[in-house]
A and B are shown apart, each in its own frame.
Chain A
């Protein structure tokens, strides 16, 4: 097995040399942000990053994946900055020394969306846990991310509060897509299943069908985003100076104004709240 693996790496190495010659090894100042799909799918980063690049000359390359994968990639040193939304996991990331410091950036909220027919009768509820209990009682289909993302983490925490063992219903009315937010929404709309989603992705989503927001306004649905510089002591190739400049900008007056100014269909999607930081 080990022999096979090293053989594989030799093959990759040979190809790497070949494509170094062909591939565009574009130089220049850039940083890589490991971020979540919600910041990309909503169009936020595309809207605000040019201002930072214009000011500093630093290009920002965004890899948008689920929070779980973003954190894993950052631990591998494959990014300079982490911008995600799962506070407990972020704090752990910093506590274990992978990140330098967690800064508050912005927040929005999660909502439960579902079909207009609303078989579980949760429309207008503001108690998310009670709404999930009604969905379970009705055995109405519910589509879960099932991918360790920030949204999935939030969803599991809510199910924990209901005391319902959703794993037992997996494959029945509880359906784990194992995919990103957009793919899960597509699946949910396709099979008439309730979905927990962040509001930004939902507003930006074009394939809504007859789905609408049914549950909102619970304090437990608060969705804060944090930004963390990957620790150079773990990975010496981290571009700490450029990464820190980005964090300073994002959490400073200009970045916060840009976030507040981003609108889609007349709605503000993210609310700046920089100021707090956790070591």
Chain B
């Protein structure tokens, strides 16, 4: 397996050579996935907090469905988004198919249930601890949620990272709605799929290593951010 050893050398020489195409692909991967995670957080966190702090009929079922949606296959999401954004579909008029916008939509749909389901659990645990306190202090519901979200920010950052990991690594959805168009919608995972299909396994693996390095950088950055904002006792 000389491919294996060669891949590591290739990965680092690719990074060191500042190959413009590679950096374009890495940049688009980050742009798409970070946008998707941001959208997913804006939707998923309030939804998670809402379910965590309220009691309503069918709540158990909602939680089961939400937890199940964490396992949605990316290719199914890709197919649904394709059907919606296709020129023959109801949203074809937006002309988003085969653009980074379509990829952001697909990944946001993929990540939102993860953020909502995990943050629901995180907030519900904290809510249990603080419910009495809130009641005794007559804190408004909105204020209570804001406090809970802020208090749980370290755990919620980990939730966002779980979403990031899922989105940056998936290929099934973005290859359908993005089309893997060179210089337009080609990201790390679709480039890896392409090189694999060309039989260039060393280059494919090298790109995989680069993807891992990028993910390490993002996780490291978040970790540093967390250390800066959260008291040591909470980390």
Contact = CB atoms under 8 A, between A and B. Distances in A.
Contacts of B196: 182-183, 186
A1 to B, nearest CB: 13
A24 interface: yes
Given A16-B96, A46-B182, A76-B86, A206 B200 contact: yes
A138 interface: no
A182 B101 contact: no
Contact of B199 (A15, A64, A208): A208
B85 A23 contact: no
A204 B35 contact: no
Contacts of B109: 11-12, 15
A32 B108 CA distance: 25
Interface stretch (B87-95, B134-142, B151-159): B87-95
Interface in A185-226: 185-186, 204-208
Interface string A142-186: 000000000000000000000000000000000000001111011
A237 B84 contact: no
A173 B199 CA distance: 23
A78 B97 contact: yes
Interface residues of A, number: 42
B87 A237 contact: yes
B100 A23 contact: yes
Interface string A20-41: 1011111000001000010011
B104 interface: yes
A18 interface: yes
A76 B81 contact: no
Given A61-B179, A63-B180, A182-B199, A25 B81 contact: no
B175 to A, nearest CB: 9
Nearest to A180: B197
A23 B101 CA distance: 4
B182 A23 contact: no
A85 to B, nearest CB: 17
Given A23-B35, A24-B99, A63-B179, A12 B197 contact: no
Interface of B: 35, 39, 80-81, 84-92, 94-102, 104-105, 108-109, 179-182, 184, 194, 196-201
A11 B35 CA distance: 16
Contacts of B101: 16, 19-20, 22-25
Given A12-B81, A23-B101, A73-B86, 19 more contacts: A9-B90, A11-B109, A16-B101, A19-B102, A19-B108, A22-B35, A23-B35, A24-B101, A25-B101, A26-B99, A63-B98, A64-B180, A76-B88, A76-B89, A78-B86, A78-B87, A186-B197, A207-B199, A208-B199
Contacts of A78: 86-88, 97-98
27 contacts: A9-B91, A18-B39, A19-B35, A19-B96, A19-B102, A19-B104, A19-B108, A25-B99, A32-B179, A32-B181, A61-B179, A62-B181, A62-B182, A63-B98, A63-B179, A76-B86, A77-B88, A180-B197, A181-B197, A186-B196, A204-B198, A205-B199, A206-B198, A206-B200, A206-B201, A235-B87, A235-B88
Nearest to B201: A207
Contacts of A41: 194, 197-198
A103 B194 CA distance: 28
